[in-house]
Structure 1
Amino acid sequence: MPDSAPLQTFSLSENAAKRILVLAEQEQSGTMLRVSVSGGGCSGFQYGFDFDTQVEEEDRVFERDGAKVVIDETSLELLTGSQIDFVEDLMGSYFKIENPQAESACGCGSSFSIAL
């Protein structure tokens, strides 16, 4: 039996799901949070957040309590095992990615590096 590709996982915290639903209500019907990873930032890779209504062929959709996050396959390789959370603290309110693949992150948490 051939080895199958590892399952690429990503999850949403309860707080993230609630916030995505609130923000999606302010957008058009069918809005999802798109999470992406691109080169850049002070640590090598940076997270991107945007709203989208389209799911492309190379996208995966993750859902919790009706809130949906869409991630392209390339970004998902760098996000496998991660969880998105929504944090409210003295610094403000923001989405935060808890990425087990990240070796280091910048102080603001929007960029990270991994060992290749």
Structure 2
Amino acid sequence: MTAPTSNTGVILTEAAAAKAKALLEQEGRNDLALRIAVQPGGCAGLRYQLFFDDRELDGDKIDLIGGVSLVVDKMSIPYLNGARIDFADTIESQGFTIENPNAGGSCSCGDSFN
């Protein structure tokens, strides 16, 4: 069995897809996609943005995972290829996490990378 083809190169875990889908259902929105982007900023040079978006940008890559559309813009693709978005709900942490093999280093706050 071969792995599914990814347009975005980003892995969205089942837990992250389920949480994103639940948040969208809670708001009664089926017109939004989960967008991950890389923007300049933060103490290490680049920072992640993960948010629900209703826009379609020229060059967007889209994957449908667990009933959620995951969108990456064309400028962010090289920085995010192989990145993994997960959702944790434990005593120690709660929220979406991003593991990125392309990050050479990150800041102590965990909000930015290079």
Same topology, TM > 0.5: yes
- The corresponding residue for 2:82 is 81
Name structure 1 gaps, 5 residues minimum: 1-6
TM normalised by structure 2 equals 0.82
SS at match of 1:50: strand
CA pair 70-108 structure 1, distance change in 2 beyond 3 A: same
- The corresponding residue for 2:100 is 99
Q: Structure 1 stretches (4+) deviating beyond 3 angstroms?
A: 89-92
Asked if 2 retains the 8 angstrom alpha-carbon contact of 1:11 and 1:62, the reply is no
Asked if 2 retains the 8 angstrom alpha-carbon contact of 1:33 and 1:68, the reply is yes
Cα deviations by residue, 1:47-96 (Å, 9 ceiling, x for unpaired): 01221123222111122111121110101111011111112234542211
What is the aligned-residue RMSD (CA, Å)? 1.8
Asked if 2 retains the 8 angstrom alpha-carbon contact of 1:43 and 1:112, the reply is yes
Q: What is the number of equivalent residue pairs in this alignment?
A: 107
Asked if 2 retains the 8 angstrom alpha-carbon contact of 1:81 and 1:99, the reply is yes
Distance 2:18 2:74 in 1: 25
Identity of aligned residues (%): 36
Name structure 2 gaps, 5 residues minimum: 1-6
Distance 2:34 2:15 in 1: 14
Which letter does structure 1 place at the counterpart of 2:54?
T
Distance 1:23 1:107 in 2: 29
Distance 2:94 2:108 in 1: 15
Matches within 5 A, 1:13-92: 13-27=13-27, 28-92=29-93
TM normalised by structure 1 equals 0.81
Which has a greater percent of strand? 1
